[in-house]
Amino acid sequence: MIGGLSFPKNATEEERQIDWQSIVEISDKDFGFNNLKPKSDKTRFNVRCILQNRNGEICVIKSEKFGYVQIPGGGIENEEAIVDALRREVQEETGFLIMDIKPIGYILERREDVRNKYDWGKAISYVFSASPEKEIGTNYTEYENTEGFRPIWMTLDDFIAEKEKLGNKSTSYSGRFSDKRDLEITKYIRNNT
């Protein structure tokens, strides 16, 4: 473990040796939540991808039902290495196979309030940039189809403006973390590339 950073059991040695830069740590305190539940030793491992096309736009996922946009990504499954999970999640959510994969950093989320209904109290998202290689189609879950998920292209600045406009307005506990995580990732990209 490096600071707050740990790795999923199937992370490759190469993935463990990357000089992972901390993008930000997000906690319940950021939102004024302080009703702690018993601590959990479990960590959820995730991947996120800034998928950028030749026009400099990023591919994000839009929920037609609720109107929000988010960076593609999701959970690393037990048998997956980090980059394998990245390839799978990006293809499922954007429809693209990816190339030119580069690690950006990681985000640590501490979700220790009773509003967190999961059995984990810490989430780590490994963040990458990539380019689309070939479009083969999305593979949404039933829940994602119900929400009307679809990939769209936006400029980085438009995405940041959208997230800043929302501020802390999300009514869901997880939504607050997701919005802040995605905003911090894109601001980090804008300021460091």
Taking only the tens place, the pLDDT of each residue in 42-60 is 999 999 999 999 999 999 9
Shortest CA distance to 49 belongs to which of 94, 14, 8? 94
pTM of the model: 0.95
Asked if the structure places residue 5 within a domain, the reply is no
Confidence of residue 3 (pLDDT cuts 50, 70, 90): low
State the Cα–Cα distance between residues 54 and 34, nearest whole angstrom. Answer: 44
Q: How many residues does the structure list for the chain?
A: 193
9-33 mean pLDDT? 95
Rounded percentage of the chain residues whose pLDDT exceeds 70 = 98
Q: pLDDT, tens digit, for every residue of 98-109?
A: 999 999 999 999
Higher pLDDT, 67 or 89: 89
Place of tokens 């929920």: 63
Tell me the per-residue pLDDT of 146-155, one tens digit each, with 9 for 90 and over. 999 999 999 9
Within-domain flag for 3: no
Domain assignment present for residue 86? The answer is yes
Instruction: Mark residue 150 as left, alpha or beta (left: phi above 0; alpha: psi -120 to 50; beta: remaining).
Output: beta
Strand extents, DSSP E, 79-138: 96-110, 122-135
What range does the domain containing 167 cover?
13-192
Residue 73 domain flag: yes
Angle between helices 156-166 and 173-192 (to 10 degrees): 140
Q: How confident is the model at residue 166 (pLDDT cuts 50, 70, 90)?
A: confident
What's the pLDDT score for residue 122?
95
Asked if 59 and 72 touch (Cβ cutoff 8 Å), the reply is: yes
CATH number of domain containing 168: 3.90.79.10
Q: What is the pLDDT of residue 1?
A: 42
CA geometry: angle 163, 92, 148, nearest 5 deg: 55
Q: What is the mean pLDDT of residues 23-48?
A: 93
Number of domains in the chain: 1
How far, in Å, CA of 188 to CA of 173, rounded?
23
Query: Which of 7-16, 34-43, 126-135, 145-154 has the least mean pLDDT?
Result: 34-43
2 vs 39, higher pLDDT? 39
Q: Per the domain annotation, does 7 fall within a domain? A: no
